[in-house]
Each structure stands twice: as C-alpha cells, then as structure tokens.
Amino acid sequence: MTRRTLATLSLLVTVLSLGAFAQARPTYKSALATFVGAPLPKKLNDCRTCHTPAPSDDASQVNGRTLNVFGQRLRKALPELRAAKKRAGISNRLEAVADDDSDGDGASNLLELLVGRFPGDSADTPSREEQEKARDAVASFRRARSRE
C-alpha cells in the first residue's frame, strides 16, 4: 500500500471511531431524558445523576464510580418490580421511585429531576421558589403520564 492510502485509511478509522464515541450515549441517560421529557436539564445529562463523582476530573471515567443513593434506589427497584411481576426497565424504575426522596433533602426525586437537581445529592436541594414552581410541573407531568 502506498503511504497516501495508509494515511487515508488511518484518517477514516479515526473519524469513524470518533463519530461512534460522540454518538455513544448511555441507555440510561437516554431513558432519563425520555422519562423527564424534552428538554432534559443539561446538568442531568451527566453520569452524576446516578453515580458518585469520578475520583478524577475525567468525566468519562464511569466504570470506577459507585452509585449514589438515587442510583442505589433505582437498582433496588429492579427486583421489587420483578417480584410484583411488573416491567422493570429503567423508565419503569424511574416511575417507581419518582415520589421517593432518595437523598433525604425534602424534595421528591421527580421534583428534583424536573428542576434540574441531582436526586442523589442532598447538598443539591431545590430552593423553595424552585419547589413551588415545580409543583405545577409535577402535576402536569402526572397528568401527561396518566394519559399514556
């Protein structure tokens, strides 16, 4: 092969692999966006919604992370739903824990998700104003879900 052909192939492989990396979006993030509805608050399009922060500044290092209390609650909902002979996909688990307050900060998981707060971080609590505004959003969310 010529040097030019090798360079072209190398560039093509690099571009294709970067495209796949850029397109890779974890299933759970996608399910969360679908559950909450468009648009998902930008802050929540992050692994820290369910996981503890990475030990380094590299946000791509998910494998070494552990689940925060919200992520643990989602995991615990899986066998609970299966035992009840209900669907146990991530959207079903999100629905099952929506009214819980996983981090104990006084706001439900659903309310925190709708206002763009981490439901697994008690230090990331919605303000009173955010909670009051979100009550309407929660009611609208519930009405829309009941029609599905």
* % of the chain residues with pLDDT over 70: 74
Please tell me the pTM assigned to this model: 0.75
- Sequence spans of domains, the chain: 26-53+62-147
pLDDT of residue 39: 73
Distance CA 59, CA 12 (A): 26
DSSP letters, 45-96, are SSGGGTBPPPSSS-TT--TT--B-HHHHHHHHHHHHHHHTT---SHHHHHHH
pLDDT in tens, 89-140: 999 999 999 999 999 999 999 999 999 999 999 999 999 999 988 888 889 8
Any idea which of 1-10, 53-62, 92-101 has the lowest mean pLDDT? 1-10
